[in-house]
Structure 1
Amino acid sequence: MTRFLPRLIGTCAVALATGFLASPAWASFEACVKGVRAEVLKAGIKPDIVNAAFKGIAFDEKAVRFSRTQPEYRLAIWDYMAFLVDEARLVDGAKMMRTHDKTLRSVERAYGVNRFILAALWGIESNYGREKGDFFLPHALPNVACGGKKPAVFKAELIQALRIVQAGDIRLADLTGSWAGAFGQTQFMPSTYRRLAVDFDGDGRRDTIHSVPDSLASAANFLDKAGWQSGLPWGFEVKVPASYKGPVGRSRKAPASAWVKQGITRADGTALPSGGSYGLIRPAGPSGPSFLVSRNFDALFSYNAAESYALAIGYLSDRLAGKAALKTPWPTDDPGLSRAERKRLQELLIQRGYYEGEADGRIGPITVAAIKEAQKKAGMKPNGRPSKRILKALAGN
């Protein structure tokens, strides 16, 4: 739910981030936070909640840096899919679906959203509730409002977050999440939570942090409001003739019968559906896997405004439902890494002296810089990309 596209760090943020806080810059930050606090009070948040929320607030270099810096390399679709739909997420997903089978089926009946889709979204957003983010929102949001881009957006989200606390749904101390404000097992932004979160377990609170039923039902409510159609597949892999010159794009939908006339068939050999309208997407171009996607794919897209994200959820849901892996390989001779392989790569970088930090499988600027140095030494193009080739090189294979 949170993909803000930031830019380079500005002068004031750099001065603050150095750790040697220049007096004018620090004064500017303090003045900004004071202004944000005043706006929160003016919005009707109770003073005791505001006092507790702003207590001990300090400049958060990490939150501001995350809000303003772009990754150093563009994530290829095969890299994205490799760590989002890996073996561990499939195994964990199957286990969690067994554990919460009754809840998933109840939510599916109530909202008409496929339970495998809900499990996949849950797995990708928070690793089935295990990874919800560690930024304290009442501190992170003023920081990115004052030191980052889109100040009005983040101030508005802060107010909405504190309204959630004021309503008694979530305790202030539990309000942790991403630097941009997404929180809970479904990673709703506060404004999204206020509109669409539901109390499915009947305890009188909408709690997407601790309650699995509330979390899954809230995600289902989101997708339902986004136009999810019960019984319609999100999409499926297809084979496209090499001579195909027709339309491409999820918005350029046509009945399945029209795609049949273009010579397009399902990759698994089964017949195309008799109903529904579909658009053709080719995320890696003509040489990679192709998919016909429905309005349900568009509903997934609305959750995070990225086709790669929607595809990851759709594909993970298929695998959780027992369907086979993609028939067409991604067009690369250097595949991406699973989360376990990313962690192993960091461990090897540490052992070889390229990297100082925790091996947690998360690829940030420090890891990218270390990979570049290792690639240079191995005679590879120093693009900072975590891939099978550099992993094998470091492992001595």
Structure 2
Amino acid sequence: MFRFARQMILAGILVPVFNAPVSAELRSSPIPPERPDRPGGAVLVQVSTSNLAFERWIEGFRDRALARGIQAKVFDRAFRNVRYNTDVIAKDRNQSEFTKQIWDYLDSAASPTRVKNGQAALKKHARVLKAVEAKYGVDRHIVAAIWGLESAYGEFKGDIPTIEALATLAFDGRRGAFFEAQLIDALKILQSGDVTAAKMKGSWAGAMGHTQFIPSSYHAFAVDFTGDGKRDIWGSNPADALGSTAAYLARSGWNKGQPWGVEVVLPRGFTFSQANRKILKSPAEWGALGIKDINGRVVPNYGRASILLPAGANGAAFMIFDNFAVIERYNKADAYVIGVGHLADRLRGGPEIKATWPRGYKPLSFKQKKEMQRRLKRAGFLDDKIDGIIGPNTINAIRAYQQSRGVTPDGYASQELLKLLKTRS
């Protein structure tokens, strides 16, 4: 539950290659031996960098960390040879300007290779995954799918020292408070003895282990599933990481036996304004409106549901249930949630998505999304901040604008919609 990275996916989904995770950056950096404190208790932290400002920041941060209960020896051991990592900053500042279209993301998320490797992982770790499902009530295929998207079933957990990555990002200052809080939590993990600094590695933005927990999520949800006294989400045995992921979902309100969603077929003449997360009906009520599953049957009564059109009127449609929102607690991006859900379905032998996607559509850049929001706001349809994130408020504004112009109100942010806004607002 790499919260910061999850939010970044909203602005630019990273499409993995073959069976790589959604985001995995690899680098190694061994931890040197411990250095004794200076006389009088004052310590000059040795930093392998020419960035003197970073060195001064670490010394100031040391005071703040010790005030938060971090032991001096833990801090000094963790920061030995930490350097200002320019690779981390480059990755943070050079994220893609363009959001990948959902069909491109799903092509990778549920690729034949990822499905094949996931089924092999399910077989290899069947005992653990069944035990996790029995204890927490969370579908083991969902847990395995998250594992597959986050680290390619443990193959790419990340190799950047977490302390170095978080310290670099905290010093950089653009989200300094967030990353400094994560850095404190990472030091608390080291202080607990669950892992050593040498083994605490992960992505460039501080996500760790098989299922890419950030430190605050580790503190909130990590479990010792093996019973060996440590919550080890980094090692070769994935049991603690899988148990922790299930615990996260369970505590977030997972409904046992309920799917994340079901692909459906919309009837001719469907009122697209009904495709709104706030409009909830039973599957039978949706069925009465002509919405059926891909086999033409009314969807079973899994509970109240809404209709989601992630690519607008010209792509696949899904009836989504409460568990969709639970997976959103792990990652807010619709593409990620659908990716997890669809991969889980494929791992249990389910079919590919049947509907076709509008693959000729060109994605909007971040700049274009902000322009769309500005024009919607200027036209009186959006009462929200201009942030380039196409969230529920922007989708509702798009839908209202589309209705006012006699366009199918599917709420989809497209190049065509931006052109319409430019000509009429």
User: Normalising by structure 1, what TM-score?
Assistant: 0.77
- Paired letter, 1:79: D
Residues 79, 148 of structure 1: alpha-carbon distance in 2 compared, 3 angstrom cutoff = farther
* CA RMSD, 1 decimal: 2.0
User: What letter is aligned with 1:118?
Assistant: V
The separation in 2 between residues aligned to 1:5 and 1:118, in whole angstroms, is: 22
Residues 35, 252 of structure 1: alpha-carbon distance in 2 compared, 3 angstrom cutoff = farther
Aligned residue pairs, count: 319
Counterpart of 1:286, as a letter, is A
Tell me the CA shift for residue 333 of structure 1: 4.5
**Cα distance in 2, alignment partners of residues 258 and 188 from structure 1:** 39
Gaps of 5+ in 1: 8-24, 337-397
**CA-CA distance at 1:89 after TM superposition:** 0.5
What residue number does 1:287 align with?
314
1:325 to 321, 346, 352: 352
Q: CA deviation at 1:74?
A: 1.7
Matches within 5 A, 1:247-286: 247-286=274-313
One-letter code aligned to 2:145: A
Aligned-partner Cα distance in 1 for 2:291–2:298: 10
Name the counterpart of 1:383.
none
| Counterpart check, 1:147 vs 2:172 | yes
* SS of structure 2 residue aligned to 1:237: strand
Q: How does 1:353-372 map to 2 (within 5 A)?
A: none
1:25-52: per-residue Cα shift (whole Å, max 9, x none)?
9333332222222222221111112112
CA distance in structure 1 between the aligned counterparts of 2:195 and 2:245, rounded to whole angstroms: 17
Q: Closer, same or farther in 2 for the Cα pair 1:251/1:223, shift >3 Å? A: farther
Counterparts of 1:214 and 1:335 in 2: how far apart (Å)? 41
- Superimposed CA distance per residue, residues 358-386 of structure 1 (whole angstroms, 9 cap, x where no aligned partner): xxxxxxxxxxxxxxxxxxxxxxxxxxxxx
The amino acid across from 1:233 in the alignment is P
- 2:201 counterpart of 1:176: yes
How far the C-alpha of 1:170 sits from its partner, in A, is 1.2
CA–CA separation in structure 1 for the residues paired with 2:83 and 2:240: 33
1:82 is paired with a residue of what secondary structure?
helix
In the alignment, which residue of structure 2 is the partner of 1:307? 334
Rounded Cα–Cα distance in structure 2 between residues aligned with 1:118 and 1:268: 27
Q: Which amino acid aligns with 1:248?
A: A
**Pairing 1:19-168 to 2, within 5 Å after superposition:** 26-168=51-193
CA distance in 1, matches of 2:277, 2:348: 24
Structure 2 unaligned spans of 5+: 12-49, 364-425
Shift in alpha-carbon separation, 1:5–1:313, aligned structure 2, 3 A: closer
| CA distance in 2 between partners of 1:54 and 1:182 (Å) | 18
Give the distance between the partners of 2:267 and 2:209, measured in 1 at CA.
44
CA 307–39 in structure 1, closer or farther in 2 if over 3 Å, else same: same
Query: 1:212 Cα deviation (Å)?
Result: 1.5
Mark the CA change 1:150 to 1:333 in structure 2 (over 3 Å): closer, same or farther.
Answer: closer
Match of 2:223 in 1: 198
Deviation at 1:247, TM superposition (A): 2.0
Going from structure 1 to structure 2, the CA distance change for 1:88 and 1:203 (only over 3 Å counts) comes to same
Quote the offset at 1:306 in angstroms.
1.0
Q: Percent identity?
A: 37
Task: Please identify, of 285-294 and 266-275, the stretch whose mean Cα deviation from structure 2 is larger.
Answer: 266-275
